[in-house]
Each structure stands twice: as structure tokens, then as C-alpha cells.
Chain A
Amino acid sequence: MLAVLAAAFSGLAMGLEWNLQPAASPIAADIHGLHEYVMILVTVIFIGVFGFMFWACYAHRKSKGHQAEQFHENTTVEIIWTVIPALILIVIAWPATSVLIAQRDTSQPDLTIKVTGYQWKWGYDYIKGEGEGISFVSKLTTPRDQIENKAPKGENYLLEVDNEMVVPIGKKVRVLTTAADVIHAWWIPAFGAKQDAMPGIIRDLHFKANKTGVFRGQCTELCGKEHGFMPIVVKVVSQDEYAKWVGDRKKAIAAAADDPAKQYTLDELKGRGEKVYAANCVACHQASGKGTPPMFPPLDGSKVVTGPKEGQMDIVVNGKPGTAMQPFGKQLNDVEIAAVLTFTRNNWGNKTGDLVQPAEVKAARK
């Protein structure tokens, strides 16, 4: 077992599954170095201490006729083995301090991105630097069938999203973390970057990627039932590709803008609403609309859904404090809210025939 311990932990062994993920930022590389340094130290100490113990187990056995000596203290030895560990700690503290200080230095970033944790997805807002103004939500795209073992699992099972966070290589990226509901944690192992995202509080971290590629991580603070299903994916690209991505993204935003003044038909809104529902609501309220009561109430036959439009609109736009029902007014535009309201009021057993127009949502927001 000692051999396994030594090989596996000192970074000599191969492959992803034995050790930290390959570093893709200078800080992550420093963390690897620090980890290996400490593992070598403790492995040597471990072997030394237990070498003594197992030697005693072997040589000082009663069955070999060993007589017990009766010594029970030795001040010199006791002082030595108090002072030496203290010195070793100082040897460890020195590099540990310098890596930490570098890790926490978020000053003078090239690009600042705000990350918001929601139950159970991530919101990204590029707030300073190239790409300023880009904003999107990033959700798991692994199909439900794969999770429920009805389809073979893909290569990036549980680590794939619809909108990746894209950053340029070699630029210092400062990530501000916050959350809308409960505590989440944003983590990309390859960057050595992890920070809790807490409601009502903004914290930050930074990384400077030195490899292009796609890097994947997961939420690392228990945030409710879908905690295991809100991955983080960062795509690191060259400066040119990044500039192109920013351009495309901005054009797409302009093109996709919905016109809230338009009058939509029932079928248009239902069709759109079904998509919005599948993306935002289905985790809690389920595709069947039955929810998982009492924490996640059913919408099928719900008094709120089949009651006055205004009541349902208020809950969807403003959320319900103390529950996982978040204020979707901040995440969805007027057309999307109108669509999902129309969909839920006319799906399953709900047959209200109501049509909610985006203009009504716009009016209600004020």
C-alpha cells in the first residue's frame, strides 16, 4: 500500500484519474507543484514513522521472546520530535503562502465576467473588456434519457452545456461570482480556480489560461436537488477567434431580439412556451406538470396556473421567497414569459384558453 501511496500521490503516476487534472493556467501549475512537494515530504515522514512502528511489530514481539523495557520518557527525544515537525511546517508554509498570494491577486484584469449561480444553471455577463455587454445563460445539455439510462451516455456526460463561457488565451480573466438563490460554487479544475457564489454577495477569482481547448468543471457547493447537474464549461480560444466570437455573439443578440409589441397567436406562444418550459421549469415541475410536491408543487390543475393571469405572472416574474421558485423576470424576456404562461395555462389538464401577450407582461413589470 505504501508503494501505491507514494507513486499515486507524488505525481509520478500517469493519467487523469490518479491525480489532479492537467494544469491549464500558471496558478494551477503552481498548485500541482505545491501538492507534489508536500506529498513527497509527508510520504517520507509516513514511511519513516511507520517503519519504526512495523519494525517494533516485527522485532519486539512477545512471541519472539522480547522482554519489555520499562522506559517511559526522554525529554531530549520529546523536544526533538516537537521542534522538527515545527521546522518542517515552516518549510511548507513558505511556498504555500506565495502560491496563495498569487492566486488571490485579482488586480488589473483584461476581461471581467460576472457569473451568477441559479438553481440549476449559470448566468454569464461580460461586464468589462472585449465582449462587454454579452450575456447568456448556460445549462446542462445532457439529455434526460442518458441520465435515466435509456440511452447510451455521451463522452462529455454531465459536462456539456448549451452556451460555453468563451475567453481568449493568455488574458487575465477576473470572474465575479454571485448567486440568485442559494450558495453555489464555480470551479474549473484545470485553472485551479474555485469560488463560492453566494446570494447577495460578490466575490472574485482570476485565471489566465495558457492552453486553448475546452475545460470542464461542476458546481461544488450543494445547492439542492439538481446540484449534480449544473456543469461549467469554459472554451479558451485564440485572440482572433475570440474577436470573431464576440462579433457573432453581438449580431446574434441583435437578430434574436423579440418584439414585445407584436401580437402573437395561441399556437405561436404555446410552441415557444414549451421550449422555455423545457429549459427553465422542467427540473422542478417535471414534464408531466405534476412536480414533486410539496417542495416543487404541480402546475397541472394548480389554482395559481388556472386562476387569474396576474397572480401567476407575479410569481413567475418575481419568484416566491423561501422556495426554489426564483424571479424569472431577470432571466427571461417579455415574450418568453408570456409564452411560458400561455403554455402552462393550456397544457396537461389546464384548459383555460387564456392567451398572455408580451405587452401584458411588459405592463405588469412596471
Chain B
Amino acid sequence: MSAVVDNHGHAAHDEHGGGYHGGIMRWITTTNHKDIGTLYLWFSFIMFLMGGVMALVIRTELFSPGLQWVNPDFFNQMTTMHGLIMVFGAIMPAFVGFANWQIPLMIGAPDMAFARMNNWSFWILPFAGSLLILSFFVPGGAPGVGWTMYAPLTVQMGMGMDLTIFAVHLLGMSSIMGSINIITTILNMRAPGMTLMRMPLFVWTWLITAYLLVAAMPVLAGAVTMTLTDRHFGTTFFNAAGGGDPVLYQHIFWFFGHPEVYIIALPAFGVVSQVIPAFSRKPLFGYASMVYATSAIAILSFIVWAHHMYTVGMPVTAQLFFMYATTIIAVPTGVKVFNWVATMWKGSLTFETPMLFAIGFLFLFTLGGFTGLVLSLVAVDVQLHDTYYVVAHFHYVMVAGALFSAFAGVYFWLPKWTGRMYDETLGKIHFWLTMIFFNMIFFVQHFLGLAGMPRRIPDYPLMFETWNKISSIGAWGFGLSQVFFLYIVLKAIRSGEKAPEKPWEGADSLEWTHLPTPVPHHTWETPPVLK
């Protein structure tokens, strides 16, 4: 930072409480980690609603057998875009938003290490999101290939596929820049005395996640670039007729795709690891083993990718390797679950909304973990691969895992960020609605998958009708519950009661113990010293 910026900077801070600009320009030019965190969170929520509308189109079509509302082509576009938008537009940016807000606060750093790059990391996202949405309006529409974009179906798609590929490139750039920023911030900007093994677990999970992102995102970029050249420049990476191999795409994609699962799950573990101790009024049980378990999960995530591909016809020895490697992940994951339960054991528990979502996470994520164990067994997976059982399984991990944890995080930190409390009663109602409707949608899908309903079909045989009806009704309830969440948050920001200095008795990380509520626009201009 040059002296010039410092001289101008201080006067401006005092006038506007931040940056050089007011209004919209404040948000476009901001380099403040809190502003950028807010931008990430709002962006992810908007994308969450868009992806949610697509999910409702899917579930509405599946309410009854026969084609009622959309044609099969558009249905495929919906499943594809729902997946891409939820994974890359909603869940990942949401946790980057938490990282931006919380990491500097929790480690005693004044801001992220590369503040300007941070601005760019965010502002790439709206362009990537626009490309995805734009693909609906070009000839041929959005790609109808599934979010996994398997070759060679991708070669048959219209230019919507190209827009999607470029969007994935942009999203990857954004993620990589964000990760480098997070790694650098955590490794270089901790306050004196904040040793690695004293960091809040949320910071640890993000440090590990950031490494996963840096390793995995370029692989995805490579896969979609090969798809692009196969489409337009006569290469045959994935075409056996030209010496390529369609299975190669799947290997590359899932080499990214499995770490991606943990890119989403680990920060969720981090949030839950902050929330559960706070409401148990008891330190996290097994902090060191949590760090080791998280690292173990991250490393294992790179050697299990082909468990997504048990039906491509790998040699049986390869299947055995991937089966054993996959089941081993159950050990560190189990350690984490046991640690969370042990944290609650003999605590002094209260059940405010963040804690409810954290317990909901723990319960349902474990259920999703067990169905994952079932799916890891090749012989059983052959039966369940590409059925609704898999859809149920990964929504337990992605929604009940990541989304529940994100809700827990929002309710937990909203008072700190805004200085206002949400309405506790409404928050609890939101939790119970979300919990009930979530299970209504996805629990029954286990039965559909067992009974043999393939995924990604717009119409189905009559024997699947009952469960589909229940699932669709649940989907509408779930969707409306999230609009209710928007109302709760807006109500809190506009007219919520003023939050007490420390609303959560058991919260003990730096932002709760050393900073006022709401946090000022600039924090830790003088780093705290931890003894």
C-alpha cells in the first residue's frame, strides 16, 4: 500500500464509513472484505432462487406421468442448468461469502491479502451467471446434457453449450483467485499469537478447501476446453472414431468432481464446528482430530473419483481399489460426526435457529453419508447408479449438508454483521418448514431409486407416481419456505431489534470477544495480540 492511498483514504473512511464512493459505485469498486462478502452472499441467494425455480419446473413436470408442462428437451435444459447454477452459482459463492466476511475477522487481519483481486474475483461472477442464463436465449437453447456435461452428447448441442463452457471458465478463474487470496490471507495475515492450531475450525476448513479449489478447478477447465475443441476444431479427445475415448472425459471431470464435493462440504463442516460449540457452551471436542480428519478427507478426495463411474466397465481390480478407497472416507467423516456429538454431550444446550440448522445438518448429512456408503459398494451401486437413489443421496449432502449449514451461518452471524437480530420465532418456523419439506422431497426419492426410476427423465412409468407426487408437493413447500427466509432476513436488516453486543453466550472466536456489534466497516487496523 502506498502512502498516497493512505493519505486520501482516512478522510474518506470517516465521511462514508468506507470506500471512496457512495451508491452503486461503492459496491462496484469496493475492496472491503465485508462488502465483498455481502456481495457474494446476495449473488448466491439470487442464483439460489433461480436454480430453485428450475427445480420447481422439474418437479412440476414430474408431478404426474405423461408430459404436461415442458417438452423433454427443455426438461433436460432445466436439469442441467439447475445443477450448474446451484453448484457454481449458489453454494460455492455462498461459502466464499462467509470466507470473505469471517476469515479476516476470525484471524485478526484487517482485510483479505489481495483486496483488489478480491473485487475482481467477485465481479467475474455476475458475467459468468449471465452467460449461463443467456444460453437459454440462443438458438438451440441451453445445453441439455446434465451438469456433468458428458461427452459426446455435448457435441450435439447448440451454441448454448459454448456459452456454458465459457461460463465455467470464468467461474473457475473466480474460484482460483478467491482461493489464492484465502490461502495467502490465512498463512500471512494472522494476528500475533494466532498460531495455525489456534485458528477457529472454520478458518481451517477454508484453508484446506482453498487448496482443493486450486488443484481441482484447472482440471475442470481442461475438460470443458477439450469439449470445446472437440466441438469446433476437429479434435477427437472424446471420440473413439478419432482415437479418443468418451470415458476419458468422465475420468477428467470426476477428478475435479469428487474434490468439488468436499469443496462444498468442508466449509459447511467449518460453519457447523463454530455453531455447535457456541450453543453447547462448551469447547469443540477433539479440535486437533478435526483438523487431521479434514485434511484426510481432502487428500482421500483425490483418489476416489471413479466411484462415480462404476458402470463404465472398468477392470474389476480398479473397481475394487475405488471401492476400498471410498469406504475409507467414512472413517475421518465418522470422526467428525462423533466429535460434534461429543461437543454437545454434557454441554448446556440451547436451540436457537443456528443450532437447529446445525443439528439438522448433523442428522441429515450423516444420513446422506450412509447412503454414500451404500453407493460406494460397486455391486449395489450398479443397481442404483443413475437412479433417483443417487439424486436423493447427493441432495442430502448438498442441501441438508451445505445449504443447512449456510442457513446456520447466516442466522449465527447476521447479528454481528448487521447489528440487528432476526425474529427468533420466524427463524424456527423457517427451520421446521425447511426440515419437513426437505425430507418430503428427498427421502421418498430413495424408494424411487431402489424401485428403479432412472434420473433425468421427464416422464416415468406408472408405478413411480405416488412418491413423485409427494416429492413434488414437498418441492413447492421447500421453495416457498426459502422465500420466507428472504423475508426474515430483510425484516431483520430493516426493522430487526438491535442486537446485543454478544448475542450468543457460548461464542468464543475473536469477532465475538474482541469486536463491537455491529462490526465497524474497518476492523483490526491494529491487530489483536493473543496470549
- A interface residues, Cβ below 8 angstroms from B: 1, 5, 8-9, 16-21, 27-28, 30-31, 34-35, 38-39, 42, 45-46, 49-50, 52-53, 56-57, 60-63, 66-73, 77-78, 81-82, 85-86, 89, 92-93, 96-97, 99-101, 103-104, 146-149, 153, 155-159, 177, 181-183, 185, 187, 189, 192-196, 198-201, 203-204, 216-229, 292-295, 322-324
Contacts and interface: CB of A to CB of B under 8 A. Distances in A.
A158 B459 contact: yes
A168 B158 CA distance: 45
B327 A185 contact: no
A77 B341 CA distance: 13
28 contacts: A1-B439, A8-B446, A17-B451, A30-B379, A34-B379, A38-B380, A42-B370, A53-B362, A53-B363, A60-B348, A61-B349, A68-B348, A73-B289, A78-B289, A89-B331, A92-B373, A93-B323, A96-B380, A149-B67, A158-B461, A182-B156, A183-B152, A194-B383, A220-B311, A220-B385, A225-B144, A229-B459, A324-B156
Contacts of A93: 323-324, 327
Interface in B149-172: 150, 152-153, 155-158
Given A19-B451, A226-B72, 6 more contacts: A70-B283, A85-B331, A103-B382, A147-B67, A185-B311, A200-B240
A294 B138 CA distance: 10
Contact residues of B: prevailing secondary structure: helix
A18 B461 CA distance: 15
B323 A100 contact: yes
A100 B319 contact: yes
A34 B330 contact: no
Nearest to B505: A62
Interface residues of B, number: 102
A71 B339 CA distance: 12
A46 B240 CA distance: 45
Contact of A182 (B153, B241, B466): B153
Q: Which of B311, B331, B363, B455 has the most CB of A within 10 A?
A: B311
B440 to A, nearest CB: 11
A12 to B, nearest CB: 14
Q: Which of A16, A195, A196 has the most CB of B within 10 A?
A: A196
Interface in B223-259: 231, 239-241, 245-247
Contacts of A203: 312-313
B348 A219 contact: no
A62 B374 contact: no
B380 A34 contact: yes
A81 B338 contact: yes
B311 A195 contact: yes
A195 B362 CA distance: 35
B66 interface: yes
A206 B333 CA distance: 36
Given A17-B451, A56-B346, A70-B283, A183 B380 contact: no
Contacts of B378: 96, 100, 103
Contacts of B338: 49, 81
B462 A157 contact: yes
Contacts of A293: 139
B377 interface: yes
Nearest to A182: B153
A295 B327 contact: no
Given A17-B447, A38-B373, A50 B363 contact: yes
B460 interface: yes
Contacts of B366: 46, 49-50
B467 A192 contact: no
Contact of B346 (A69, A97, A177): A69
B359 A53 contact: yes
A68 B324 contact: no
B367 interface: yes
A89 B374 CA distance: 11
Given A217-B452, A222-B76, A222-B150, A100 B320 contact: yes
A34 B382 CA distance: 12
Q: Which of B157, B320, B439 has the most CB of A within 10 A?
A: B320
A225 B72 contact: yes
Given A82-B335, A153-B462, A222 B348 contact: no
Contacts of B65: 153, 157-158
B456 interface: yes
A96 B379 contact: yes
Given A194-B385, A294-B139, A16 B451 contact: yes
B280 interface: yes
B386 A220 contact: yes
A220 B152 contact: no
A305 B224 CA distance: 35
A49 B246 contact: no
Contact of B380 (A31, A219, A224, A323): A31
B347 interface: yes
B299 interface: no
A159 B338 CA distance: 46
A16 B451 CA distance: 6
Contacts of B348: 60-62, 66-68
A9 B374 CA distance: 11
Given A16-B463, A217-B452, A223-B153, A52 B349 contact: no
B450 interface: yes
Interface in B290-342: 311-313, 316, 319-320, 323-324, 327-328, 330-331, 334-335, 337-338, 341-342
Q: Which of B144, B247, B331, B359 has the most CB of A within 10 A?
A: B331
Contact of A185 (B362, B374, B386, B464): B386
A229 B75 CA distance: 13
A96 B144 contact: no
